Structure 1
Amino acid sequence: MSLFSAAVAGFGTGLSLIAAIGAQNAFVLRQGIQRRHVGAVVAVCVLSDAALILAGTAGMGALVETAPWALTAARIGGAVFLAAYAALALRRSLRPAALTVDASAAGPGGRSAGRGPLAAAVLTCLALTWLNPHVYLDTVVLLGSVAATHGDGGRWRFAAGAVAASVVWFVAIGYGARVLRGLFARPVAWRVLDAVVAAVMLALAASLVAGIPG
């Protein structure tokens, strides 16, 4: 397989894993619709993916496979975090006064709904990324294993393709989400989105708990 083909394979494999509906994508989509710290959130996602992909390509995947206790701890922590985030999303869906697409509109208590702290958005994005054990199984173990099949030279092209897929995906949903602002100008749309987000978070939390070895 040519080095170019390895990069294309990395792009396709990476995109197929990243595009799955999950906590991280739901958060980026919501930030994009409200135009809240989109650049910082997208950067966190892309840089985190790049670090994990490169770690897997360098051989970290084999190390993770030999430490099942680490994945169990990650599952527990991730499940707790996702359940808490689901509760917050559900509360938002029940409070229409807090649901606004206008970054200049006031939220509860007179605070601007669009001026949430940058640190809070970044920390939430980091938690949704690094507390999700699936990211280690998919990005580190799976992509790392597939990259290894392309040989010493091709595996880094494969990794570059996977990183490129991450950049394209998160830029697309982060900045492309603004085309949905018209739809989400109605509170009912936010109710539905946050209800769906809560359901996805709870389903992911349940799947993490179910995967903990007995």
Structure 2
Amino acid sequence: MLAGLGLGLSLIVAIGAQNAFVLRQGLRREHVAAVVAVCAASDVVLVLAGVGGTGAVLERVPWLVTAVRVAGAVFLAGYAVLAARRALRPTALAAQAGGSRAGLGAVVGTALALTWLNPHVYLDTVLLLGSVAGARGADRWWFAVGACTASLVWFTGLGFGARALRPVFARPAAWRVLDGVIAVVMAALAVSLLVGAG
């Protein structure tokens, strides 16, 4: 279980599209519980699928991973453009700071897309975690419990812990920097996905 917790955290803590989105929603205090629930529950499903043997199926259908790579790259590129627009146009940022909130459906849809259209989720969570867990024989389900716990702890801490950074983000300039970083991360991930799909 501790091995699963450690590997799960090592795979999930790295900055990526999903983590950047959870952090941003936590800072905005906008549908945080829903975002945390979607991300954590999705991870649990993916971990259990990997431990249950779905990774072996994915290895036999490589075109499926390629299709997810391309779809994920297109989505991330679009999200990068939106983040860059917020960073470069103070008027867009001012409208956002003025209290306009995204609807729950849009936020949940974005969280689902950032999770399920990310091929790294399948490569890391399903294939890698699944194969490491499979090597543990009968203890693989305890390993899965540890990996699932890592996801629950991480997303809860990131989403609800982001409020501690609110004083830093009281200034519009800090939001512009965050959105600039998010735009760069999303664009870089989109490019890496397209390169990997080639």
TM exceeds 0.5?
A: yes
Could you tell me which of 94, 112, 116 is aligned with 2:99? 112
Could you tell me which of 143, 151, 174 is aligned with 1:166? 151
Paired residue total: 198
Deviation string 1:109-167 (CA, Å, 9 cap, x unpaired) is: x9732x32000000000000000001000000000000001112x10000000000001
Deviation, structure 1 residue 98: 3.8
- Where does residue 25 of structure 1 map in the other structure? 19
Write 1 or 2 for the structure with the bigger share of helix.
Answer: 2
1:89 aligns with 2:83: yes
Query: What is the alpha-carbon distance in structure 1 between the residues aligned to residue 171 and residue 90 of structure 2?
Result: 10
TM-score, L = length of structure 2: 0.97
Query: What is the alpha-carbon distance in structure 2 between the residues aligned to residue 195 and residue 72 of structure 1?
Result: 28
Determine what percentage of the aligned residue pairs are the same residue. Answer: 64
Query: What is the alpha-carbon distance in structure 1 between the residues aligned to residue 154 and residue 43 of structure 2?
Result: 11
Kindly indicate whether the alpha-carbon contact (under 8 Å) linking 2:35 and 2:111 is maintained by their aligned counterparts in 1: yes
- Where does residue 137 of structure 1 map in the other structure? 123
Letter of the 2:59 counterpart: E
Deviation, structure 1 residue 96: 2.4
Query: What is the alpha-carbon distance in structure 1 between the residues aligned to residue 84 and residue 188 of structure 2?
Result: 13
TM-score, L = length of structure 1: 0.90
Query: What is the alpha-carbon distance in structure 2 between the residues aligned to residue 195 and residue 23 of structure 1?
Result: 13
- Where does residue 73 of structure 1 map in the other structure? 67
Query: What is the alpha-carbon distance in structure 1 between the residues aligned to residue 92 and residue 27 of structure 2?
Result: 14
Deviation, structure 1 residue 94: 1.7
**Is 140-149 or 90-99 further displaced after alignment?**
90-99
Deviation string 1:84-116 (CA, Å, 9 cap, x unpaired) is: 00000000112224436xxxxxx36x9732x32
Kindly indicate whether the alpha-carbon contact (under 8 Å) linking 2:44 and 2:148 is maintained by their aligned counterparts in 1: yes
Q: CA RMSD in A?
A: 1.3
2:53 partner SS: helix
Kindly indicate whether the alpha-carbon contact (under 8 Å) linking 2:85 and 2:92 is maintained by their aligned counterparts in 1: no
Deviation string 1:50-93 (CA, Å, 9 cap, x unpaired) is: 00000000000111111110011001000000000000000011
Letter of the 2:120 counterpart: H
Letter of the 1:175 counterpart: F
Runs (4+) off by over 4 Å: none
